[in-house]
Amino acid sequence: MPERLSFHEEIQKNKLKSIALMLIMILILIGIGYVVAMFFDPSFFFIIMIFSIIISLSYTLISYYNADKIALASVSAKPASKAEHRNFISAAENMALASGLPVPKLYVMRSNQINAFASGRDPKHAIICVTDGAIAKLSRQELEGVIAHEMSHIANYDIRFMTFTAIVIGMISIIAELFLRSLWFSGGNNDSRSKGNGILIIVGIALAILAPLLSTLVSLAISRKREFAADATGVKLTRYPTGLASALKKIKHESLTQEDKHRFPKAVAPLFISDPFKKKFTNLFSTHPNIDDRISKLERM
């Protein structure tokens, strides 16, 4: 018989893994920063750091404070109606009560596929959006399981956490780009190269090329851990893992129609409870864990 899992332990484990992965990203940032500081004058690196922080913060924070509006507009979502979406509204109110959070603003998007997403910078500015298919095809318990998962993203401040990872990735990418461009435009006249620091140049170029890729892979791994944590936190809210597990089983067997492909922008896909474009399989470049693994964990809780 499979070993039983504790949702408390699963929540803690996945949060700790997320923090550990975040520290790896920070180490990558420090590593590329150190190499650039060794290669150039340290004061030059300080200017690069300030420049990269300003650009990365500006771009990311604009997205952060408007994430919910951008996501809703991209899927053409409409506010939930008390007349048409009573079950959805009732399920959201129940999960808000269970989590101790305010009831988020509720929206519905047109799609026969079962899916949902949450967004917003904090619980007071949160939204939850579900598809028509989720409302039509899910039972009350399954819908509550899905809503609980999305409420968990809000409760765990996952949008804020992933925004921080985006800022770090942005800084790494900007520093790497500036480093490579400075090598290109210097024309081989840098004093460090004249002193025979060829190894440092090679290490710097390799790190500048690989660092953005590695940081992106780590960010995707963090995203997968946050999904596992949201599943476990959802179980904590409903005390009924079967609801979410059953909903994921239904999602697993659905296919994306040509019409729906235009309703799910790929830029927003990572927000959904299940990536509309990759449901059954996962790899290093996936934002979501393998759906079978998620179901298996839920059935063991």
Helix (H) or strand (E) holding 294: helix 291-299
Q: What is the CA radius of gyration of the chain?
A: 22
Give CA 205 to chain center in angstroms: 29
Of 162, 295, 150, 107, the closest CA to residue 237 belongs to 150
Pair of tokens at residue 3: 């070993």
* Residues 226, 156 contacting (CB under 8 angstroms): yes
Amino acid at 90: S
Of 103, 130, 106, 105, the closest CA to residue 116 belongs to 130
Could you count the other beta carbons within 10 Å of the beta carbon of residue 200? 15
Which residues 6+ apart lie within 8 Å of 122 measured at CB?
A: 157, 160
Query: Burial level of 256, CB count in 10 A (0-12/13-18/19+)?
Result: middle
150 is annotated as an active-site residue: yes
Query: Burial level of 164, CB count in 10 A (0-12/13-18/19+)?
Result: middle
Instruction: Report the sign of the C-alpha dihedral through residues 216, 221, 225, 228, in that order.
Output: positive
Pair of tokens at residue 7: 């949702």
The neighbouring-strand residues paired with 118 are: 128
* Residues 152, 15 contacting (CB under 8 angstroms): no
- Residue tagged active-site, from 10, 142, 144, 150: 150
Place of tokens 């409760």: 155
Residues taking part in catalysis? 150
